Chain A
Amino acid sequence: MTQMLRTPDAGHVKRTRPISFTFNKRQYWGFEGDTLASALIANNVRVIRRSFKFHRPRGIVGAWSEEPNAIVEIGANNTRVPNLRATQIELYQGLVAHSVTPSKWLRFDTLAISNVFSGLLPAGFYYKTFMWPKSFWHRYEKRIRRLAGLGYAPSGQDIDTYDKMHYFCDVLVVGGGPSGLIAALTVARSGGRVLLVDDQSEIGGSLLSKTETISGKLAKYWLKDVITELRSYPDVRLLKRATATGYYDHNFVVINERLTDHLEHHNERLRRERLWRVRAKEVILATGAIERPIVFCSNDIPGVMLASAIRIYLLRYGVLAGSKVAFFTNNDSVYHTALSLVESGGEVVGIVDIRKNPKSTIVERARSTGIPIYDDHVVVAARGGFNGLKKVQLARANSQGDLILTNKGELKCDTLGVSGGWNPVVHLHAQSGGRPEYDQSAGMFVPGKSVQSERSVGAAKGHIALRECFVDGVEAGKSAALGADLKLGQIPDIPFTIAESSEALKPMWEVPPSQLNLHNDKSFVDLQNDTTASDLRLAVREGYTAIEHVKRYTALGFGTDQGKLGNINGAGIVAKYLGVDISELGTTRFRPNYTPVTFGAISGRSIGGYLFDPVRKSPIHEWHVMAGAAFENVGQWKRPWYYPRDSETMDDSVKRECLAVRGGVGALDASTLGKIEIRGPDASTLLNRLYTNSWSKLPVGRCRYGLMLGEDGMVMDDGVTARIGDNHYLMTTTTGGAGPVLTWMERWLQTEWPDLKVYLTSVTDQWAVVSLAGPDSRRLMANLYPDLDFSEEVFPFMSVVSASYVGVPSRIFRISFSGELGYEINVPANYGYSLWSTIMKFGESLNITPYGTETMHILRAEKGYIIVGQDTDGSVTPHDLGMDWIVSKNKDFIGKRSLFREDMKRDNRKQFVGLETDDPLLILPEGAQLTNEQNRSIPVDMVGHVTSSYMSVELNRSIALALVKGGIKRHGGKVYAHLIDGRIVPATIRSPNFYDPKNKRQEA
């Protein structure tokens, strides 16, 4: 139970709830409320892993998402989560974690040999070296990945579920620190709908590690009061463990809420993560600021960390970062931390301050407690061994901070807290369209002008002092409330905070080189990717002048930390080498996500299984299921594909179904086809304008096949349309075309022809449709509708009649897609199931056979009937299909003019034909490429492709439909299909109408 660096009573961890956990196969103890990082520090675990490129030992640097070093992996197999930051993992009983590191041996890394030869591994190394031969890149890449030691993705099915939430609010507040909370309170009191999100497990932000009093009391009391009041409003919602990860258009913000990662046991009833998609009228960004380190030699030695992290570990988690702590700073903030350390029994061996004789109150207080203060000094190098920091070397620099004057001895310490200033978290502001600006006096990038309805407050704006945070928050709350059209309520008072005199920071990105520097010394700018200051210098020498190029050349800011600690220093250093001001150089672009988001959260419930995409079912669906049908997806619809009996294969079933239709009678569920009611005095006019053929003279009670083109002359959809009355048509479309065709027609009516008096209404779901086909279909129909006259004179091919079956209204069409005598019975959908059952019963004596889409495809292919979208692809005209007969010469219609374009007259356009392979048993694969010659020396001219291909049981051979250049004039000619397995298959071009070319059977 020894946690040597745990203080007796500081921090918020629950000391009555000890937790045991395992790290790199060793067991340790921590407390509830710890993160993995704070518990490791408490146990004096200094080295967490080795870095990617140079394999140098690395320790914990930060306390939250800015952490670049402590990359670990938890879980195994399908619960494995790689590349997590130990600083963001909430400790739970039984947690098992290991470092993500290339080598098994943390102590002695054979791969650290790369450290010795690191002079040969500068920036751009991979880019320059592993480029030749190109084909070898895959081999290089595998090795590099293993050397780099990146984690492995989980294997197997995710045991967790995730979902989404859609939310609207008047004001979204990102960040639950002092400024965010008081802003939220202001809006809440004005009656607004408020969503406040904070990415930590406790709301409070910087207040969780502050010693300052608010209105004379500890911060935690103010915190409690505010949160209690906020929770009392029904329209205020507070989310913990929720990261605002992306800011998009029109104040749309995506928030990733983590719900169960901190729990010990998996609960399958709980969602692991929830993605909130939020539209806010106004946004307040209280995202705080991240401390910026200073770059110096060997600043990556375990023990060198952010000064603010030391404070957080002490005041929040009750952990001393080390036994002998020193600080290196250019501003006041570390002094508070140093004093707190001393109060908690820690030892502070010295504070190195680059400023000369700072006079702030806090500095005086630190001096008075006896802490050695080395003002006007810099740290030129950190020195230590495998176990981490042992000492730092000091020096004095000139007033500009770019030249070392004299060396000034050393300071023995095992921990160094570094503070080079603060970087406001401007990421969301930048994502919203804003451009951060550089504030020269404060030495930081702050938010620029807002492009959307957002504003930043507190440290996110560069205001570090607590009082400023409160003032900002109230002002922002007021402006946001007014922006959301709310009436201001009782404005919160600015709480009383003690003001102390402070001294400004003195900016320094990098400590200049000194004589003490060794040949092999490195100053790290990006700790995760091992990008050094000399890498940046090299990039500039090689001619890179834009920060985006430098980033990609040196990998600066690439890691899971996205450069939160390195990017601004990097920009400052590059600007210095380029001789420009950092404000000119700018920063790299900020993009979502702020921290990594699992794919699970992004998918939500739209994953495999039954919720991936909406499923549409015919009213007769359950009958097909009970009959054992196999289904295929046609768009969102489930359609019976074939009905296997006993132990039939698909080929067996389809063969049986085809024979049954052509020899007797079959039944197909055609309910999924699109149906549109078209009504009004201008109905015929509309059809004339949209179809290629004429409609005005179609008699009532007759149907006609229609072809619809896009304005570019290409076939878009087809279907049979029936004239139900003088001003009343029922149009059918393909299953997939129903929606698009209705939208297409409405678009023309609304945007181009608003004067036409015609209304369109979709009735696809209103009617169930049973399609009967086969020579026995008429007999079956006569049994069902004994009062109906089925003679040729009264009920000819391509006509429609209304009838009723036992009081059930029906519309019966005599049409055929199979080439056999056929009827389609339309009944209101609620009767669909029973109609089908009745037909099955009636048809027993005729051996009626239900058939699916596969059989339907074969039967129509034998007739050469196209399926739009299969035999056409948006580049096929009526002429290409051999359908000149359907193109009216006497009227204008959508697409007509395009048919006369120069390109449409080409003889070698791809044209619709049938194919018969030399080998009657060989079925060509759909999509097979066709050539005119058998030889295969590249380049080969492609003359077409196979669009549909089946085994025809009726013709006892394989048939195919294809698009072939100039095919219409090439009947009898040969083409060759090229298969993926290398075979070249000869086939003869012919008419696509393989069966009953005179259509005698369907018109019987």
Chain B
Amino acid sequence: MLQIECPWCGPRDQSEFSCGGEAHISRPLEPDALDDIEWADYLFFRKNPCGRHYEQWCHIFGCRRWFNAIRDTVTYKFIAYYEMGANPPELD
């Protein structure tokens, strides 16, 4: 069971959250201008890093806010949290 820190509610158990997958994917402003390959990339293709993963989480059984987190996919450690819409923090 992971422990995840909601920016509003503090550290809570994983069971209160829902994972939204990769973060920082914006919906294309003009979908019609994309061809099928580009559209499929937006729809389906996701990064699969060994290490830092930038992802979205929702505190679905808490305050229901969405936020971002940087999590290491090897150690499952959460490296940083930041609010939805904010830029990811600089890491060394």
**A→B interface (CB under 8 Å):** 248-252, 277, 279, 433, 451, 711-712, 743, 746-747, 750-752, 754, 892, 896-898, 901-902
Contacts and interface: CB of A to CB of B under 8 A. Distances in A.
Contacts of B39: 897-898, 901
Interface string B47-79: 000000000101010001110000000011000
A593 to B, nearest CB: 16
Q: What is the size category of the interface that chain B forms with chain A?
A: 20 to 34
B1 A277 contact: yes
B1 A750 contact: no
B18 A248 contact: no
Given A752-B27, A897-B31, A249 B2 contact: yes
B84 A250 contact: no
Contacts of B64: 743, 746
Contacts of B75: 433, 451
25 contacts: A249-B1, A249-B2, A251-B3, A252-B1, A277-B1, A279-B1, A743-B18, A743-B60, A743-B64, A746-B58, A747-B58, A747-B66, A750-B65, A750-B84, A751-B20, A751-B66, A754-B85, A897-B31, A897-B32, A897-B34, A897-B39, A898-B43, A901-B39, A901-B40, A902-B36
Contact of A250 (B1, B32, B66): B1
A711 B43 CA distance: 7
B66 A750 contact: yes
B26 interface: yes
B3 A279 contact: yes
A193 to B, nearest CB: 15
A747 B13 contact: no
Interface majority SS (helix, strand, loop, mixed), chain A:
mixed
B1 A248 contact: yes
Contacts of A251: 3
A896 B56 contact: no
Contacts of A901: 36, 39-40
Contacts of B32: 892, 897
Given A752-B26, A897-B39, A901-B39, A743 B58 contact: yes
Interface string B2-19: 110000000001000010
Nearest to A710: B43
Contacts of A743: 18, 58, 60, 64
Contacts of A896: 31
Nearest to A747: B66
Nearest to A894: B27
B46 to A, nearest CB: 13
Given A249-B1, A277-B1, A451-B75, A712 B85 contact: no
Contacts of A712: 43
A251 B39 CA distance: 41
A248 B14 CA distance: 12
Max count, chain B CB within 10 A of own CB: residue among A746, A751, A898: A751
Nearest to A749: B66
Contacts of B3: 249-252, 279
Contacts of A751: 20, 56, 66, 84-85
A279 B1 CA distance: 9
Contacts of B18: 743
Given A248-B1, A751-B84, A897-B32, 13 more contacts: A252-B1, A277-B1, A279-B1, A279-B3, A279-B13, A711-B27, A750-B65, A750-B66, A750-B84, A754-B84, A892-B31, A897-B31, A901-B36
A636 to B, nearest CB: 14
A283 to B, nearest CB: 14
B76 A250 contact: yes
A754 B27 CA distance: 13
Contacts of A249: 1-3, 76
B32 to A, nearest CB: 7
Max count, chain A CB within 10 A of own CB: residue among B18, B27, B40: B27
B72 to A, nearest CB: 11
Nearest to A901: B36
Max count, chain B CB within 10 A of own CB: residue among A250, A433, A754, A896: A250
A955 to B, nearest CB: 42
Contacts of B20: 747, 751
Contacts of A252: 1-3
A928 B41 CA distance: 35
Nearest to B28: A897
Nearest to A752: B27
Nearest to A896: B31
B13 to A, nearest CB: 7
A712 B39 CA distance: 10
Contacts of B56: 751
A896 B34 CA distance: 12
Pairs A-B, 9 closest by C-beta atoms: A897-B31, A250-B3, A750-B66, A252-B1, A249-B76, A249-B2, A751-B66, A901-B36, A752-B27
Nearest to B44: A712
Contacts of A897: 31-32, 34, 39
B68 to A, nearest CB: 9
Max count, chain B CB within 10 A of own CB: residue among A248, A277, A747: A747
A752 B84 CA distance: 9
A594 to B, nearest CB: 18
Contacts of B27: 711, 752
Contacts of B66: 746-747, 750-751
Nearest to B33: A897
Contacts of B26: 752
Nearest to B56: A751
Contacts of A279: 1, 3, 13
B34 to A, nearest CB: 7
B9 to A, nearest CB: 15
B16 to A, nearest CB: 13
A896 B27 CA distance: 13
B83 to A, nearest CB: 10
A252 B14 CA distance: 11
A751 B64 CA distance: 12
Nearest to A748: B27
Nearest to A433: B75
Nearest to A166: B13
A471 B36 CA distance: 67
B12 to A, nearest CB: 10
Contacts of A250: 1-3, 76
Nearest to A248: B1
Contacts of B1: 248-250, 252, 277, 279
A495 to B, nearest CB: 37
A897 B37 CA distance: 12
Nearest to A760: B64
A896 B32 CA distance: 9
Contacts of A451: 75
Nearest to B39: A897
A343 B28 CA distance: 85
A268 to B, nearest CB: 30
Contacts of A746: 58, 64, 66
A587 B56 CA distance: 37
A947 B31 CA distance: 33
A892 B31 CA distance: 8
Contacts of A711: 27, 43
A743 B65 CA distance: 10
Nearest to B42: A711
A750 B3 CA distance: 23
Nearest to B85: A754
A711 B13 CA distance: 30
A278 to B, nearest CB: 10
Contacts of A892: 31-32
Nearest to B13: A279
A73 B42 CA distance: 58
A731 B87 CA distance: 34
A279 B14 CA distance: 12
A433 B56 CA distance: 25
B3 to A, nearest CB: 4
B18 to A, nearest CB: 7
Contacts of A433: 75
Contacts of A898: 39, 43
